[in-house]
Amino acid sequence: MDPQIVIEYMAFGLFGGMIGGLLGIGGSVGIIPLATIFISPDKQQLQCAAMLCNVAVAATAYRRYLKAGKIEWTFARRIVPAALLFVLLGVAASTVIDASNFRVMFAAFLLIVALREFRLLAMGSEHAPDDARELSPARGAGIGTIMGFLSGLLGIGGGVVGVPLMRAWARIPMKRAVVTSVCTMVPLSIVGAAMKSITLWNTPVDAHGATITAAAAAAESSTAVSATASPDNALIHALFIAACLIPTAMIGSWTGATINVRVTGKAVRWVLATYLPIAAAWMAWPVISQWMSAPTH
């Protein structure tokens, strides 16, 4: 791998890890858009690498919050079961469907969440710890379903969905929502990364290193595919990317979680509200640019 690309991945990992540790949203929501714009690696390999990176980001943030005495599973235990089930479905769906429309809808969701948070900040509104609603099993399962499916489908950290939903549906204060998301992300990221890795195991790549999907393989004869495939597989390429991302992502995650512990909840909310529109633009831009460049008839 070119040294310049390695450095770029390391920078993306540091940024994604810091945002993930600070906001409890996982690192890939920062890593995937940046890597897509500046490097344009194979989508399936990048998602797998980012999901592997999420494990490191979530585990590092969990350890930092545990050290600070902030970890509690009151709400997370109601979110995790559905999240684990639907991340498997999301990963399976990611190998057979075009997720472009989901990316645009997800970007729109992030914009709506950001506007809501800005409105609450302007009103000076925040939920006190004793104002949080009881997170019913149904609400917990709903949050877990959305977190898990989008995490598996898009390769993102489910916390970027979970944190806003926890605040909107259960009125959970910002810092508690972040910690709950981190608790959820630990098992969610492990299961999601393992499932995604399995889908790429023994999946061939073409002469340019791009993943040969099941659909592409079915469209061609097995002879034609084997003739263009290289001896390695897509998982090996994903592991190389993950190896570049993870070390700096862990540093960033510890740093972000440390900042969260030391600043006010309102400061964290400002970061979230400011970052979400940026993340939305990053997520949607590759799809929008493709639409704009498509030939018209």
Q: Is the pLDDT of residue 83 over 80?
A: yes
pLDDT score at 257: 97
- pLDDT tens-place string over residues 236-290: 999 999 999 999 999 999 999 999 999 999 999 999 999 888 888 877 877 777 7
Whether 16 contacts 49, CB under 8 Å? no
CA trace torsion 93, 94, 99, 102 (10° rounding): 60
pLDDT score at 297: 53
Q: Is the pLDDT of residue 291 over 60?
A: yes
* Of 71, 56, 47, 29, the residue nearest 280 (C-alpha): 29
- DSSP letter assigned to residue 131: G
249: three-class secondary structure by DSSP: helix
- The span from the CA of 80 to the CA of 93, in Å, is 20
pLDDT score at 208: 54
- Scanning the chain, the segments in alpha helix (DSSP H) are 3-23, 28-38, 43-67, 76-94, 100-123, 137-154, 159-170, 174-200, 214-219, 222-228, 234-262, 265-293
- pLDDT tens-place string over residues 171-215: 888 999 999 999 999 999 999 999 999 988 877 766 555 666 554
In single-letter form, the type of residue at position 276 comes to L
Q: Where are the domains of the chain?
A: 3-290
Residue whose pair of structure tokens reads 């920062």 in the numeric block: 30
CB-based contacts of 103, cutoff 8 Å, min separation 6: 154, 283, 284, 286, 287
Q: Is the pLDDT of residue 135 over 90?
A: no
Highest mean pLDDT among 72-81, 104-113, 120-129, 197-206: 72-81
Whether 286 contacts 112, CB under 8 Å? no
- The span from the CA of 244 to the CA of 233, in Å, is 18
pLDDT score at 295: 67
- DSSP letter assigned to residue 201: T
The angle, 0 to 180 degrees and rounded to 10, between the axes of the packed helices 234-262 and 28-38 is: 130
- The span from the CA of 221 to the CA of 226, in Å, is 9
- Please work out, in degrees rounded to the nearest 5, the angle formed at the alpha carbon of residue 209 by the alpha carbons of 207 and 215: 90
* Of 259, 138, 155, 250, the residue nearest 199 (C-alpha): 155
**pTM of the predicted protein model:** 0.85
pLDDT score at 294: 65
* Of 285, 193, 202, 204, the residue nearest 241 (C-alpha): 193
Q: Is the pLDDT of residue 150 over 50?
A: yes
Give the mean pLDDT of 112-126: 83
**Other beta carbons within 10 Å of 266:** 11
DSSP readout, 23-81?
A: HSS-SHHHHHHHHHHHT---HHHHHHHHHHHHHHHHHHHHHHHHHTT----TTHHHHHH
- Please work out, in degrees rounded to the nearest 5, the angle formed at the alpha carbon of residue 196 by the alpha carbons of 192 and 197: 115
